Amino acid sequence: MSELPPTPEALPAPPAAPVASPPSAPAPRHALAGLPQLLILVGVALLVILAGVLLARPRLTPDEARLTAARIEQLRTGDPGERVAAAYMLGATNDARALETAVPALIEALADADAEVRTAAWQNLRQLAVRRFQRGDFPWYNPDGPAEARAAGLARWRDWWLSAAAALRREGRGRE
């Protein structure tokens, strides 16, 4: 007898077509997900602005120039108390243009006859040197030392100022 054709149920199932997975949906974003990048950008922008402000070289106004000149005159001719006060006021100077006259005046005050004036000038010169010139080792001057040692220290301060003033002028030309 002849064989009968197989029934559809007996036939093997055709291979299933590959089913594409649905595209993955983006993960839900938190409202603050971009905050770290934003903070970095804001921080960089603030640093750039701050650097510009710090590097800007303000000019002395006529009033500031007169005030600096008056303090220098007070340091040279006032009574000892006024000279000490003038040394401290000049030591608080931050402006490069004022430093060009304030520092030499403070150096010359190291030769003052009054020990308190010498001490005030020395303390403020050291403070300016550390703050403005990042230099703090000045062992060569003692305001209470013997006259010969003070004179040698005064000469060293003058030599230091020659190089520091040159650096200050180079720095000023680079910003203008």
**CA 127/CA 78 separation, integer angstroms:** 22
Q: Is the pLDDT of residue 176 over 50?
A: no
Q: Is the pLDDT of residue 82 over 80?
A: yes
Domain ranges of the chain: 66-175
Backbone angles phi, psi at 64, to 5 degrees: -65, -40
In terms of average pLDDT, the best of 9-23, 77-91, 132-146 is 77-91
Q: Is the pLDDT of residue 49 over 90?
A: no
Please report the pLDDT score of residue 57 as a whole number: 47
The 3-state secondary structure of 15-84 reads CCCCCCCCCCCCCCCCCCCCHHHHHHHHHHHHHHHHHHHHHCCCCCCHHHHHHHHHHHHHHHHCCHHHHH
- pTM higher than 0.85 for the full model? no
* Range with lowest mean pLDDT among 15-29, 71-85, 92-106, 138-152: 15-29
Angle, vertex CA 172, rays to CA 71 and CA 69, nearest 5: 10
Residues 6+ apart with CB under 8 A from 5: none
Decide: 163 and 171 in contact? Cβ < 8 Å. Answer: no
Please report the pLDDT score of residue 174 as a whole number: 40
Burial 83-117 (b: 16+ CB within 10 A, else e): bbbbbebbbebebbbbbbbbbebbbbbbebeeeeb
Q: Is the pLDDT of residue 96 over 70?
A: yes
97 three-class SS:
helix
Where residue 163 falls among pLDDT bands split at 50, 70, 90? Answer: confident
Where residue 51 falls among pLDDT bands split at 50, 70, 90? Answer: low
Q: Bigger pLDDT: 15 or 54? A: 15
Please report the pLDDT score of residue 150 as a whole number: 93
